[in-house]
Structure 1
Amino acid sequence: MGRFWHPFGQLYESDTNPVVFVRGEGIWVYDDTGRRYLDATAALWYANVGHGRAEIADAIAAQARELAGYSTFGTFSNRPAEELAEFLSARSPMPESEVFFVSGGGDAVETAVKLARRYFSLVGQPERTVLISRTNGYHGTWGFGTSLGGIPANRTGFGELIPTTVQVPWDDVEAVEAAIVANGPERVAAVIAEPVIGAGGVYPPPPGYFEALGATCRRHGVLLIVDSVICGFGRLGTWFGIERLGVEPDLITFAKGVTSGYLPLGGVMVSGRVAAPFKQPGAPVFRHGPTYGGHPTCTAAGIANCRILEDEQILARGAVLEGELLARLRPLASSALVAEVRGGLGLLGAVELRSDLLAEHPDALARLARLALERGIIVRVLATSIALSPPLIIEPAEIGVIVEGLADALDALAAEL
């Protein structure tokens, strides 16, 4: 038995039944027995440019030889962090964006929420501390992220969570309005929402939802935080995903696809309006930030990855392939085990199993994922669904391989049950 305690892993199972990957190439990964698997999840929603890109590895190695790491607290900086911040700001959907780098998506959510609250403190409205999130939403597993998350299992067993958080149905913008009014607009700091809900089940927004959400936030002076940790860097076909939905947010969290997972990196895009009071001479220091924020080797990986996304025209493929993925998945809805197939906005899809089946067989999703793995297809288990989010470099024929393997796994599961 090993000593590695896996995130989101049952300790006994991960110790006794590990799958040890040793190499990746394109959309494929290989285990320590030499077996090849099609990575239909892009690892954890992040390997957007695929595995084994030498350009990113070379950029990492070159930077590590020159200046591997150094703090960016205070006035210290480095060239890769400055370059990547300029690159992202120039492509931001918000004017004059500032970029606050962190180590990952969970850090980004904590940072965005604290920035929102601190902003209101600086502009003379310190009572604005209430935060509104949505059911099914996923915003990491740190303090604020756990409290804002809309997946019940991720909130259970940790005791009292942050009390000034309010949750509303994910698809009901009128419920957002009601929550703002009920809590007092003068007390609400921000609403946080994913462009497409990811880990909570792959739910694209209803038509017009984000336009209406933006209007609601503006009407009450509430900040809109868009969590693009999963949806950014081409997953929806644009840099941050939200560009397709007709709204200009105040803050955007990002991570995952910014380096395609080659090194840990995340951040917050902060609109010029929100950044303004922090930029005044003599303004208080924003006393927040991780040790590795703006890490030179991690940001060098981000630069190399973002250049690949842009130069090789990979960025748009999330939108180009979204219809292909959904069209291939739709026939799976005819399975006696399947309740619904979802997708259509970005290279994301989900196959939900019937609720009565899951009630009778709580391990059905895990069994389905195991059967897919036996057929060389890696899928992700969510609460009631199997999720797909392959690397953006995948071709239509390879999407067909994923769906054929999943269809065969569904048939095998039906036979087992």
Structure 2
Amino acid sequence: MRTPEKMTSAQYSNNLEAFWMPFTANRQFKQNPRMLVAAKDMHYTSADGRQILDGTAGLWCVNAGHGRPKIVEAVSKQVAELDYAPAFQMGHPKAFELAARLAAMMPKPLDHVFFTNSGSESVDTALKIALAYHRAKGNGTKYRLLGRERGYHGVGFGGISVGGISGNRKTFGTMLTGVDHIRHTHDLAHNAFTRGQPEYGADFADDLEKVIALHDASNIAALIVEPVACSTGVLVPPKGYLKRLREICDKHDILLIFDEVITGFGRLGTPFAVDYFDVIPDLVTTAKGLTSGVVPMGAVFASSKIYEAFMNAPENTIELFHGYTYSAHPVACAAALATLDVYAEEGLLTRVSEIAQYWEDGLHSLKGLPHVIDIRNLGLIGAIELEPIPGAPTKRAFQAFLKAYESNLMVRTTGDIIALSPPLIIEKSQIDEIFDTLSSVLKQID
């Protein structure tokens, strides 16, 4: 048997080879690592001691800001009190308290909650619930799932199947069968540099009717869309688009699923995109902001009609053969409850409505800078689309990412798009800092 080499903690942490990093240019990173060692409120601390302004809320998730004492205390207390409890045929009080509080935040009839551990798991859970629902209602031929081009729904096989970002799909085989996609809403010709929702493009929703005509409604179970397609580069839905999708789904008995993993918990200035757009889907997937990123957790909201469709079996039988070892994990529940307290006490779920205009003005001040071909925004989300370098797609945005980090600002890039989504606690002076830094960066890159 091989005896592990004895190394110090510092030696292990300086060995970068063992960790296969997700969604990362591993070779580039390991040649010039960008290490974060601490975080507080709006800033990360880098390994070389710099304060890095967090322009992305981590990965769209640290909505309440970093290191919030109330959440830290709740997690510490819960670990000591009840570190783990199974959710299969057992329960613990915080799981039920959290579900009830969450259900109370959603409009009726979205009044039941199924806990997961991530956005990817929330998506796969919602898709499975949709399929099982139609079967429970005697509509077993409804097996097809629809997504949207350029959609991002996590990295499970269900999520990449209904997702529409080619890089996330092309190397993983046939994925789920029976899946199709409607067109995305991005239209530079008509909507470039729109502030907020575009006026043009509601009729893009009618592409759903074409796909239904191809497959027949009797075979289609559900359509899943992000209210705002964020990970692909912040594609804001045209006015009336989501309402039209709801109407078409109702017409054909197709479940509508909103993926609110990013838009949930205050990102648009309302608790959820459901509230912002005044469109109520049948299922809603969430994660990220549920615990402000402190502990992995996700949740799927289901309408009462869906839940009740499963409650007709004998009482001693399992209604839905699905779940996770860590569903409703006690520590995650404690983190989520404390996070909801912070949101409520500081008015964070609606705070963005107060600063959205200032954010929008700052973002659009970058119009006219070199290589900028579009700017998009909604709530506290923003995107700056850059003209790609011929023959080198993504390179220009990645240059901007690296220069921003060197200038003490963390941004996200997807393709040749810079994406922004800072914590909801951001102040106007920090908004100024973000756009002053990006203005300088965009003037420097090739």
Q: For the superposition of Structure 1 and Structure 2, which TM-score range results when normalised by the shorter chain? A: over 0.9
Query: 2:171 maps to what in 1?
Result: 157
Structure 1 residue aligned with 2:123: 109
Aligned to 2:153: 139
1:94 aligns with 2:108: yes
**1:254-293 → structure 2 map (5 Å cutoff):** 254-282=286-314, 285-293=319-327
2:372 to 317, 338, 353: 338
Q: 1:223 & 1:394 partners in 2: Cα distance?
A: 36
| Structure 1 residues 361 and 201: alpha-carbon distance in aligned structure 2, compared to 1, 3 A threshold | closer
Distance 2:213 2:359 in 1: 40
Secondary structure of the structure 2 residue equivalent to 1:153: helix
Contact 1:6 1:14 in 2 (8 A): no
**Contact 2:394/2:415, CA 8 A, preserved across alignment:** no
Corresponding position: 1:371 with 2:399:
no
Match of 1:56 in 2: 71
The answer for the alignment partner of 1:300 in structure 2 is 334
Whether contact under 8 Å (1:133, 1:166) holds in the other structure is: yes
Identity across aligned pairs (percent)?
36
TM-score normalised over the length of structure 1: 0.96
Question: Could you tell me the TM-score, scaled by structure 2's length?
Answer: 0.90
How far the C-alpha of 1:16 sits from its partner, in A, is 2.9
C-alpha distance in 2, partners of 1:126/1:385?
A: 41
Shift of the alpha carbon at 1:28? 0.5
* Paired residue type of 1:259: T
1:157 alignment partner AA: T
Matched, 1:10 2:8: no
RMSD across aligned positions (CA): 1.3
Partner of residue 231 from structure 1, selected from 232, 242, 263: 263
Q: Deviations over 1:155-214 (max 9, x none)?
A: 111111212111111231000121122111011000101111110110111001111111
Match of 1:70 in 2: 85
Residue 96 of structure 1, CA deviation: 5.6
Which deviates further from its counterpart, 3-12 or 51-60? 3-12
Does the Cα contact within 8 Å between 1:230 and 1:257 map onto a contact in 2? yes
Q: Which residue of 2 aligns with 1:353?
A: 386
Partner amino acid for 1:338? V
Count of residue pairs brought into register by the alignment: 411
Measured after TM superposition, the shift of residue 131 of structure 1 is 1.0
Pairing of 1:294-333 with structure 2 (within 5 A): 294-333=328-367
What is the CA–CA distance in structure 1 between the aligned matches of 2:343 and 2:184, rounded to whole Å? 30
SS of the aligned residue for 1:334 comes to: coil
- C-alpha distance in structure 2 between counterparts of 1:199 and 1:96, whole Å: 25
What CA distance in whole angstroms lies between the structure 2 residues aligned with 1:297 and 1:17?
Answer: 35
Does the residue aligned with 2:366 lie in a helix, a strand or coil?
Answer: helix
Whether contact under 8 Å (1:150, 1:200) holds in the other structure is no
Mapped partners of 1:33, 1:358: distance in 2: 35
* 1:136/1:201 contact within 8 Å kept: no
Mapped partners of 1:321, 1:127: distance in 2: 48
Alignment-derived partner of residue 128 in structure 1: 142
CA drift of 1:137 comes to 1.0
Structure 1 segments unaligned to the other structure (5+ residues): none
Specify the SS of the correspondent of 2:319: coil
Instruction: Indicate if the aligned counterparts of 1:358 and 1:384 stay in contact, CA closer than 8 A.
Output: no
Which runs of 5 or more residues in structure 2 are unaligned?
Answer: 1-14, 186-203
| TM-superposed deviation, 1:245 | 1.0
1:248 to 252, 256, 280: 280
SS in 2 for 1:332: coil
Alpha-carbon contact 2:381-2:420 (below 8 Å) kept: yes
